[in-house]
Structure 1
Amino acid sequence: MLTKSQIKLITSLAQKKNRTKEGLFVVEGIKGIGEFLNSSLDLYKLYTTGADFGVASEQVVAISEQELKKISTLKTPNTALALFRIPNPQPIENGGLIVALDDLRDPGNLGTIIRLCDWFGVKDLVCSSATVDCFNSKVVQATMGSLTRVNITYLDLPSFLKNVQSEVFGTFMEGANVYSQTLPTKGVLVMGNEANGISSEIEQLVKSKLSIPRYGNLQATESLNVATATAIFLSEFRRGK
């Protein structure tokens, strides 16, 4: 049975300041929880209506479906909710392709980009301090477990780009056609904010500007969704590998 203090703790984790204070984040659903249990992340507590995850009994709290609805952020709660400890960031590997996000704000976009990094073998994702928190419950859901396999670091993005050893690529409407470029296996690919693109400060640090050409007859579409654009760019970076 859930206690009032447990409900208060779980619901408080909807806010970043409380996730940071408690060092915990929420994972929901059988598949998602299973992915995190199979990773190196530490389980704090598991609340379940009956599913057996094979974890130590002292970490499990049996709850009813009504209680699950009280603590879930989903419209249709899925059997279980777990709290995991937020891991410490690992050192960034500079020997491969890195994706950098300049003030991305939409949780769904960030979650999809984390999945794309996992799919295309990008080990490190670096984010400006104003980018949405990767432990936001909507981001966690959207990653479908990929959050456990991508090293995500929040940092001062201009300082990072000034000191990085590899070439910095940026995505712009007026950049060079990505389909006609010979792209390296090592570098930093910067993706910009959904509304404003890459900021002027970061633009000054970009060595190579890339774009995805428009092929429609009218060419009236303003821009691509940032997660869709990331998929295309990563595919091109990996195509010649």
Structure 2
Amino acid sequence: MISKSLSKYIQSLHQKKYRQELGAFLVEGAINVLELCASDYQIEVLLVTEPFYKENALLLDKQRVRLEMVSADDLKRVGSLVVNDSALAVVKTKENRFLVADPDEFVLVLDDIRDPGNLGTILRIADWYGIRKLICSLSTADVYNPKVISASKGSFTRVAWYYCDLKTYLAEQAQGPVYGAFLDGASVHSLDFGTAGYIVMGNEANGISVEVEELVSQRITIPRFGEAESLNVGIATAIICDNLRRVETSREGIK
């Protein structure tokens, strides 16, 4: 049974203003909680069901955090997931730390990606393709939104992010090429991306903003062969990342 005070605290973290005010967020579900336990995030409290605890006792006992045994109904009542029969953690947020691309790496730049599910998917895609940094516009969805964390499937523990004014950031910090995804531009199927740079993905409805577009040095596009008007930004990000890595491995002679 979850106490009233803890229940109220957890439910407040569904809202951005309280996440920011209290410096905490929620991690829910088996995969995300297990990934969390292997990360450097600071856990405040961990709520687990008996079956989940028995299955993962060795890992959970190493956490040395406040741990409470609860029912799946308790998790459903205070959490954001429709179904959660395993665990929920309250975790301390991290500082908004400055990030910049190293000379040998690509970084994803997200311009006004407002849908939490898309942002969580992009985190997962970045993790899959070995991209460790996201630069996010101030209008991009809050990475600590429960829907973002859930959709990331644990990748939030391995990909870092920095929220900032993109126009100022790119003008002052971008040392390598800045690629921007548009409906017109060089095909990602034939473009040599080089070895480092910034890949800008825009809002699904409006694309890259005019202010950021001015700082793009190379327009790129995913060639269309059918009649669809556009691609989901998560899918588009995956296609671009895949072609980026394909060029990279081809250059290195890896089959």
User: What secondary structure, in the 3-state scheme, does the structure 2 residue paired with 1:229 have?
Assistant: helix
58-67 or 13-22, which deviates more? 58-67
8 Å Cα contact 1:97/1:187 also seen in 2: yes
State the Cα deviation string for residues 190-212 of structure 1 (Å, max 9, x = none): 00001101111111111110001
Partner of 1:209: 219
Q: Does 1:225 align with 2:235?
A: no
What is the Cα deviation at residue 123 of structure 1? 1.3
The yes-or-no answer on 1:121 pairing with 2:130 is: yes
Structure 2 distance, partners of 1:127, 1:117, is 13
Secondary structure of 1:60 counterpart: strand
Q: TM-score, normalised on structure 1?
A: 0.94
Q: Residue 73 of structure 1: SS of its match in structure 2?
A: coil
Structure 1 residue 15 displacement after superposition: 0.7
Residue 136 of structure 1: aligned partner = 145
Whether 1:65 and 2:72 are equivalent positions in the alignment is yes
CA–CA distance in structure 1, aligned partners of residues 128 and 29 of structure 2? 21
Residue in structure 2 matching 1:102, options 73, 95, 111:
111
Per-residue deviation, 1:56: 5.3
Gaps (5+ residues) in structure 2?
Answer: 249-255
Aligned to 1:187: 197
Distance apart, 1:90 and its partner CA: 4.1
Partner of 2:12: 12
1:78 maps to: 85
Aligned length: 238
Partner of 1:149: 158
Structure 2 Cα separation of the partners of residues 182 and 200 of structure 1: 25
- Answer yes or no: is the 8 Å Cα contact 2:44–2:65 preserved in 1: no
Shift in CA distance, 12/192, structure 1 to aligned 2, threshold 3 Å: same
- Whole-angstrom CA distance in 1 between matches of 2:122 and 2:213: 21
Question: What is the identity, as a one-letter code, of the residue corresponding to 2:14?
Answer: A
Partner of 1:37: 37
* Paired-residue identity, %: 42
Deviation at 1:61, TM superposition (A): 1.7
* Contact residue 36 and residue 145 of structure 1 kept, 8 A: yes
Return the alpha-carbon distance in structure 2 between the equivalents of residues 146 and 222 of structure 1: 30
TM-score computed with the length of structure 2 as normaliser: 0.89
Cα deviation per residue 1:140-182 (whole Å; 9 max; x = unaligned)?
0111110000011111111111011111110110112121211
Question: Any idea what SS the aligned residue of 1:180 has?
Answer: coil
Q: CA RMSD in A?
A: 1.4
Paired with 2:246 and 2:167, the residues of 1 have a C-alpha distance of 29
AA matched with 1:213: P
Change (3 A) 1:21 1:177: same
State the secondary structure of the residue aligned to 1:132: coil
Q: Deviations over 1:107-166 (max 9, x none)?
A: 111111111111111111010000001111111011111000001111111111101111
